[in-house]
């Protein structure tokens, strides 16, 4: 049997008509940037996240970077980021000239360990970026408490967790603002690059909107040296067409994850742990295994696609040599990098396919 790591085909088949309608509507209107589609999606997505405002952006990296910029974080400042995340989280910080300070995760959940945050705070610290990695919410109560006590901003990185909840509340509403990515492979994906910021702060919303639109508050009037990072009409229309299906697709991911967690009984494998307060949306289902590379080879030979999130931790990436963080300094992130394996997870996987993956893992 051939099971890819990810396939959009079942979802695209189901949404075929609504995506084509979305294209037709935009094409008929012949208006492509800053229009009714963007406005409608922003409204719908803010409602979905239970926040007051949403600002479309070109991608998830820009959403985070523009938010930090709007909060006046920059050169000389430090921002706390998890040592285990996609590199975009750190790039958003270094782009605006600030320094990332890495905090290790809880190896069971892969998410930032709140108990280690306070030790990383200095007088230069301006913000914390909790990343709700692989679709599971961070333990937000202690993070919010630490941020309040130390007068720090919280910018949530929600790129992998559209719709995940913590204590019954959707992620994206716990901090000052939150960045989302709509990269095609994310739980809510565009048909290209797209992103957004959500916030309850009107002043911040207006500043982020201006910063992503050449720093302009109205046409040809520029109050900031801004960027060009907007959500275009076509992607907004596609996202609006897909948003009503997001809950259903997340429920399906939870069903697949449930089958994996129950079915994988091989003692060589550790399945992900979910904290009691979190309802995850399983962007990624990551197992851990000491013989990870052999397991990957075994699964690939059986036709099962896999991936690693992420094979090289950020502090050991070539581009961050200047941070001078030696190998061994962040052992939990390094341990995850060498043991984590992501197995197929996408809307439309059949029971037969899920069981085939489980059997192949158990026979390793
Ligand atoms: C995908 C991702 C981003 C960046 O999103 P893009 O839309 O690709 O720029 C940021 N943070 C995390 C954790 C991500 O997974």
The model's pLDDT over 264-289, given as tens digits with 9 standing for 90+, comes to 999 999 999 999 999 999 999 999 99
Q: What is the pLDDT of residue 69?
A: 98
Q: What is the pLDDT of residue 296?
A: 98
Place of tokens 């009503």: 244
C-alpha angle 305-241-219 in degrees, rounded to nearest 5:
115
Sorted by sequence, the CB contacts under 8 Å of residue 351 that are 6+ apart come out as 259
Calpha distance 74→47 (Å, rounded): 31
Calpha distance 254→256 (Å, rounded): 5
Cβ atoms of 194 and 239 within 8 Å: the answer is yes
Q: What is the pLDDT of residue 339?
A: 98
Report the atom number in ligand 1 closest to the C-alpha of 64. Answer: 10
> What is the 8-class DSSP label of residue 222?
E
> What is the 8-class DSSP label of residue 119?
G
Containing 343, the helix (H) or strand (E) segment is strand 340-343
Q: What is the pLDDT of residue 347?
A: 97
Backbone angles phi, psi at 9, to 5 degrees: -60, -50
Q: How many CA atoms lie within 13 A of 72 on its CB side?
A: 3
Instruction: Give the residues surrounding ligand 1 with Cβ less than 6 Å away.
Output: 59-61, 85-86, 88-89, 131, 157, 159-160, 181, 183, 193, 195
* CA-to-CA separations, 121 to 81, 116, 231, 237, in angstroms, rounded: 11, 10, 34, 42
Asked if the peptide bond before residue 42 counts as cis, ω within 30 degrees of 0, the response is no
Q: What is the pLDDT of residue 51?
A: 98
Report the atom number in ligand 1 closest to the C-alpha of 63. Answer: 9
Cβ atoms of 230 and 55 within 8 Å: the answer is no
pTM: 0.98
Q: Ligand 1, from 61, 82, 135, 190: best to mutate by most atoms within 8 Å of Cβ?
A: 61
The SS3 call for residue 76 is: coil
Which regions of the chain are under pLDDT 70?
none
Q: What is the pLDDT of residue 173?
A: 96
Containing 331, the helix (H) or strand (E) segment is helix 331-339
Q: What is the pLDDT of residue 59?
A: 98
Q: Ligand 1, from 159, 161, 164: best to mutate by most atoms within 8 Å of Cβ?
A: 159
Calpha distance 353→361 (Å, rounded): 13
Backbone angles phi, psi at 340, to 5 degrees: -80, 140
Q: Ligand 1, from 65, 112, 183: best to mutate by most atoms within 8 Å of Cβ?
A: 183
In the chain, the percentage of residues whose pLDDT exceeds 90 is 99
Ligand 1 centre to CA of 60 (Å) is 5
Q: What is the pLDDT of residue 331?
A: 98
Ligand 1 centre to CA of 160 (Å) is 7
**Exposure string (b/e) for 14-34, b if CB count within 10 Å is 16 or more?**
ebeeebeebeebbeeeeeeeb
Cβ atoms of 340 and 309 within 8 Å: the answer is yes
Place of tokens 């907004």: 236
Ligand 1 centre to CA of 204 (Å) is 21
Q: How many CA atoms lie within 13 A of 12 on its CB side?
A: 9
Alpha helices of 114-197 — where are they, by DSSP H?
140-150
Q: What is the pLDDT of residue 231?
A: 98
Calpha distance 324→186 (Å, rounded): 32
């Amino acid at each position: 049997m051939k099971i890819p790591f990810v396939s959009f085909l079942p979802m695209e088949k189901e949404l075929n008509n609504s995506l084509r309608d979305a294209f037709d509507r935009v094409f008929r209107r012949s208006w492509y940037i800053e229009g009714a589609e963007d406005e409608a999606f922003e409204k719908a997505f803010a409602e979905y996240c239970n926040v007051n405002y949403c600002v479309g952006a070109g991608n998830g990296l820009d959403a985070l970077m523009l938010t930090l910029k709007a909060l006046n974080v920059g050169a000389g400042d430090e921002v706390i980021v998890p040592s285990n995340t996609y590199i975009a989280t750190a790039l958003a910080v270094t782009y605006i000239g600030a320094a990332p300070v890495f905090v290790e995760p809880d190896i069971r959940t892969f998410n930032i360990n709140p108990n280690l945050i306070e030790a990383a705070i200095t007088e230069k610290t301006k913000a914390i970026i909790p990343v709700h990695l692989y679709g599971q919410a961070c333990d937000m109560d202690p993070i919010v408490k630490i941020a309040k006590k130390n007068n720090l901003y919280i910018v949530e990185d929600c790129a992998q967790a559209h719709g995940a909840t913590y204590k019954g509340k959707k992620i994206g509403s716990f901090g000052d603002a939150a960045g989302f990515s709509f990269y095609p492979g994310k739980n809510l994906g565009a048909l290209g690059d797209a992103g957004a910021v959500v916030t309850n702060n009107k002043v911040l919303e207006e500043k982020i909107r201006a910063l992503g639109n050449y720093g302009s508050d109205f046409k040809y009037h520029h109050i900031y040296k801004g960027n060009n990072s907007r959500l275009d009409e076509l992607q907004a229309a596609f996202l609006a067409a897909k948003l009503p299906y997001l809950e259903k697709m997340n429920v399906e991911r939870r069903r697949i994850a449930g089958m994996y967690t129950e079915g994988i009984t091989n003692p060589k494998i550790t399945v992900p742990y979910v904290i009691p307060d979190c309802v995850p949306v399983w962007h990624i289902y990551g197992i851990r295994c000491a013989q990870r590379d052999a397991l990957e080879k075994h699964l690939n030979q059986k036709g099962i696609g896999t991936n690693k999130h992420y094979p090289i931790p950020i502090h050991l990436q070539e581009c961050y040599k200047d941070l001078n963080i030696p190998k061994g300094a962040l052992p939990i992130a390094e341990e995850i990098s060498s043991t984590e394996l992501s197995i197929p997870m996408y809307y439309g996987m059949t029971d037969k396919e899920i069981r085939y993956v489980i059997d192949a893992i158990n026979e390793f």
